[in-house]
Amino acid sequence: MIDITPKNKFREVVEFTWEILKIVIISLAIIIPIRYFLIQPFFVNGASMEPNFHDGDYLIVDEISYRFDAPERGDVVIFRYPLDPSQFFIKRVIGLPGESIKVEDGKIFINGKDLDESEYLQDINTAGSVEVKLAEDEYFVLGDNRQASSDSRKWGEVDKKFIIGRAWLRAWPFSRAGVLNN
């Protein structure tokens, strides 16, 4: 015989609610550390990284790698915009700490040597005239679409403390989804 008294019904509701609450707590205990310390979603906004990244691309950012290793030349990084840290930018690392960077006549020179970017860009013409010596915690970053990019040529170097992580995975659009080769 089944007892359906109000006392037993209340008990079932409390037990069901407790089970749901435990699932939510366990899920949050797993998701929150991953989201805030390991990986983070990022939407590309604008054309500054074309042809490699397009407006609306949905990326997953690896936030943990740079805690153990420094960014390397050619890495695509997400960072807080130095002039307004509430904004996030995506650019490619061109110059590393301690290097001398010179942009002149459409070319980039690192410590006096012409930079070869054919691995990730074709028909490159880097406008502007800039010469800078990077400090031990600074990076020189440029957009892949050099004609439509606000980058280190315009607002200067990026301090390592502003770098959030590297572009690791493209999740959208599905036709271009996959692990990114930095």
Active site residues: 48, 91
Q: Under the phi-then-psi rule, with left for phi > 0, alpha for psi from -120 to 50, and beta for the rest, what region is 178?
A: left
| Residue 46 to residues 43, 82, 88, Cα–Cα distance (Å) | 10, 18, 12
Do the beta carbons of residue 44 and residue 88 sit within 8 Å? Answer: no
CA distance 52 to 174: 15
